[in-house]
Structure 1
Amino acid sequence: MLSDLDLPALWEYRSGHQDPPGFDAFWHGTLAGARAAGDGAVLTPVPTALRTVDVYDAEFPGFGGHPVRGWLRLPRDRGDAPLPAVVQYHGYGSGRGGPYDDLVWASAGYAHLIMDARGQGGAHAGGATGDPVGSAPAHPGFATRGIEDKETYYYRRVFTDAVRAVDAVRGLECVDARRVAVWGNSQGGGIALAVAGLVPGLAAGFFQAPLLTDVRRALRVTGTGPYREITGYLGARRSSADAVFETLAHFDGVGFARRALAPGRFSTGLADDVCPPSTVFGAYHAYAGPKTIRAWEFNGHEAGGHEDLADALSAFGAATARGDEER
């Protein structure tokens, strides 16, 4: 069943999100501070029984120079030419998983980094990155940590870590820095969309059911998933709404979409009651670069599932092949 608007209405829908004053200055200062705190990635080889993929435990400096972990996977038979790369961000409450997970991208010839979202990994695939920054009272989960101030909001740290993941991959000798794409689903899709708006020169981006997009609309039409944490917080702290929405305006995917120029692909399920399809279309319509979207009529939060992955492989292959020809 539909969780939101029908498809004709989604094509007509436009988000009412307004960028807050100082949006660009806030993010410029945040990223400049993070980059000043350190650079580069430390790669530790991980012994596995794999014959075609090499796995490394990667650590790089994120927000505040805090150590952020991920898995870097490389095709073993990669020759001397620099590789295209994909940086992946995982879903809410999950983590980078184990060394044998997510082998598709390296098997397809990419350098592949999957980044931990700091402090997560307890609910699903395990994570290995802590969050050394505390916050004021929060609803259970991550979506409200430090939410009454943009400087302390949890996703300031996560989005900064995600940008630094791209920086780290671009700094690897085995990677062609001009052929780096970003990809994620749910929370990961929202993170990838933020990175697309913050990092120039990406080859492509794929945003599957992105979270933290068209947030005011999401809070009106869904009461599930991470958005429920925000409404729960506001229900308990009735006088905090103005501060909360001022903060969230600096993290809304629609704002990042307006600044993203890399070719972008969106995906949404019309039965998705976690990240409602209108919020995805809100970001899609605002997206500044070349773009496509697929709406899966009978699917929920999984959107196109493995078919989205196949689309991403095709789209990223075309985008990175163009970069290869330019070389």
Structure 2
Amino acid sequence: MTPDKSDWTYAKGEQAQFQIMVLKNNVPLEGIDVKYRINPEKMDAWEEKTVTLKKGVATVKTQRFTEPGFLQCHASVEVDGKTYSSYATAGFSPEQIEPTTTLPPDFEQFWEEAKSDLAKIPVKPVLTRLPERCTDKVDVYHVSIDNIKGKIYGILCKPKAEGKYPAILHVPGAGIRPYYGDIWSAEKGIITFQIGIHGIPVNLDQIVYDNLGTGALNGYQIANLDDKDNYYYKRVYLGCVRAVDFIESIDCFNGRDIAVTGGSQGGALSIITAALDSRIDYLAAFYPALCDLTGYLNGRAGGWPHMFLDDFTNKPEKVENSKYYDVVNFARFVKVPGWYSWGYNDNVCPPTSMHAAYNVIPAPKELHLFPETQHWTFPEQQEQKNNWLFKKLLE
């Protein structure tokens, strides 16, 4: 599946054209029927048809896409009794996408009061050295710190050599899992602190996290959404600020340079932490979740966790409360340089939602698009991100 523009990007009002090929042993098949569907991402189909490949290829032209956004072409084929599918996504003036969510008038006051409540709680760090994870250059610790309504746990990696170092806060993607820390960056002269968000230790057996994921923490993303003071993510967002408090207390921290980075839920938390905490100097985010959550209520894709696709969550109080936690509204207040990267084919965090947040960021920013990627990264993306962060922190 390939659009007819090399960057997969068109101006709104243009027609996209998709080329469909079916390869077997890297050889195009001929005379085979392919079903295809064209739709704005996550929305109902505009067109569904079957086309026969001639000379190994079929070309599908879409109707004009008149608004900024994204249009997908999905195709499927049956070969030897098995069904295979793929899709490609065309972007139309994505830099013009505007958010559907709105900024509550007391947004800043709400979070200032929340941070004030957090500041009344001592950090009380407890560090447990993990000898089996330490290297000749890095000490590794399991860390517990006090957060509002519980604790935050994480893995600290710090260089053994005497000196003062910059720091990176790693914030996690969605789910419940153990963490192992970023030893690689610490060996290059950076303190790293990788946190979990659920208030449970991050060095337990996998079965503990599996049981929590299917039990008590199943659906945590929408827990208490009808109460903005007790919504699950309030403690999470404040926990990221508390993690910065802890970094500031580390004896070998240079007192100046802190970056925050993550992908998906972690991409969201990177933007949110940078907006909430002026001690953050740089952020690097892959495919941020929790962006423009109300998109689905306005006829277009909304961000993960797609809460407003479900009538159960489409209650007025839940919609209003979501605005206090939407990445878009934090993005408006980001003041530090940021590096961002995602793909047009992301089927977890729709690019419509991510561009809605990116487009309102007033700070210096750079977006590195890898259009064909879904909810994953190429090694080249990770390398670019690391090079950008290391240049900011170490040079």
In structure 2, do the counterparts of structure 1 residues 14 and 242 end up closer, same or farther at CA, with 3 Å as the change threshold?
A: same
- Give the letter aligned to residue 317 of structure 1: F
2:305 counterpart SS class: helix
Deviates further, 156-165 or 209-218 = 209-218
Q: In 1, are the aligned partners of 2:224 and 2:230 still within 8 Å (CA)?
A: yes
Instruction: Provide the residue aligned with 1:25 in structure 2.
Output: 109
Query: 2:262 matched to which residue of 1?
Result: 184
Amino acid at match of 2:335: L
- Relative to the length of structure 1, the TM-score reads 0.84
Paired letter, 1:11: E
1:74, 1:42 → 2: CA distance?
15
Task: Indicate yes or no: 2:183 matched with 1:103.
Answer: yes
Contact 2:295/2:302 (8 A) holds in 1: no
Instruction: Quote the offset at 1:295 in angstroms.
Output: 1.5
Equivalent position of 2:174 in the other structure: 92
Distance 2:207 2:254 in 1: 27
TM-score using structure 2 length: 0.70
1:103-156 CA-to-partner distances (Å, cap 9, x unmatched) read 33212221000011116899x995999xxxxxxxx9941111000011010000
1:70 aligns with 2:143: no
Mapped partners of 1:54, 1:139: distance in 2: 31
2:4 matched residue in structure 1: none
More helix by share: 1
CA RMSD across the alignment: 2.8
Residues 305, 42 of structure 1: alpha-carbon distance in 2 compared, 3 angstrom cutoff: farther
Query: Is the CA contact 1:15–1:283 (under 8 Å) kept in the aligned structure 2?
Result: yes
Structure 2 distance, partners of 1:115, 1:225, is 21
Instruction: Say whether 1:236 aligns with 2:312.
Output: yes
> Which one of the candidate residues 202, 206, 212 is aligned to 2:280?
202
Q: 1:186-217: per-residue Cα shift (whole Å, max 9, x none)?
A: 01111111101101142200111111111112
- Aligned mate of 2:337, from 263, 283, 289: 263
Point out the structure with max Rg over C-alpha.
2
Count of equivalent residues = 302
Q: Residue 171 of structure 2 aligns to which amino acid in structure 1?
A: Y
Q: Share of identical aligned residues, percent?
A: 25
Q: 1:235 offset after TM fit, Å?
A: 1.9
Three-state SS of the structure 2 residue aligned to 1:286 is: coil
The aligned counterpart of 1:15 is: 99
SS in 2 for 1:143: helix
Quick one: distance in 1 between partners of 2:350 and 2:255? Answer: 34
- CA shift, 1:92, in A, is 0.6
Moved more, 167-176 or 3-12: 3-12
Counterpart of 1:147 in structure 2 is 225
| Residues in 2 aligned to 1:94 and 1:311: alpha-carbon distance in whole angstroms | 27
Distance change in 2, residues 1:35/1:128 (3 Å) = farther
Aligned pair partner of 2:196 in 104, 116, 123: 116
Shift of 1:8: 4.1
CA distance in 1, matches of 2:373, 2:363: 26
Q: In structure 2, do the counterparts of structure 1 residues 208 and 224 end up closer, same or farther at CA, with 3 Å as the change threshold? A: closer
The aligned residue for residue 226 of structure 1 is 305
Q: Are the aligned partners of 1:218 and 1:276 in contact in 2 as well (CA < 8 Å)?
A: no
Q: 1:159 maps to what in 2?
A: 237
Q: Deviations over 1:230-251 (max 9, x none)?
A: 246x4236xx521111111001
Is 2:162 the partner of 1:79? Answer: yes
What SS does structure 1 have at the residue aligned with 2:245?
helix
CA distance in 2 between partners of 1:125 and 1:285 (Å)? 41
> 1:222 deviation in Å?
5.0
Identify if the C-alpha distance between structure 1 residues 236 and 259 changes in structure 2 by more than 3 Å, giving closer, same or farther: closer
Structure showing the higher strand proportion among its residues:
2
Higher mean C-alpha displacement, 4-13 vs 187-196:
4-13
Partner amino acid, structure 2, of 1:143: Q
Matched, 1:43 2:116: no
Aligned to 1:309: 382
String of CA shifts for 1:148-167, please: whole Å, max 9, x gaps: 01101000010000111011
Change (3 A) 1:223 1:159: closer
CA offset digits 1:89-110 (Å, max 9, x no partner): 1111133423xx5333212221
| Partner SS for 1:292 | strand
**Aligned-partner Cα distance in 2 for 1:297–1:164:** 35
Distance 1:172 1:201 in 2: 14
> Is there any run of 5+ residues in structure 1 with no aligned partner, and where?
130-137, 323-327
Q: 1:215 to 1:224 in 2, by over 3 A?
A: closer
- Secondary structure of the equivalent of 2:315? helix
Q: Distance in 1 between matches of 2:225 and 2:320?
A: 9
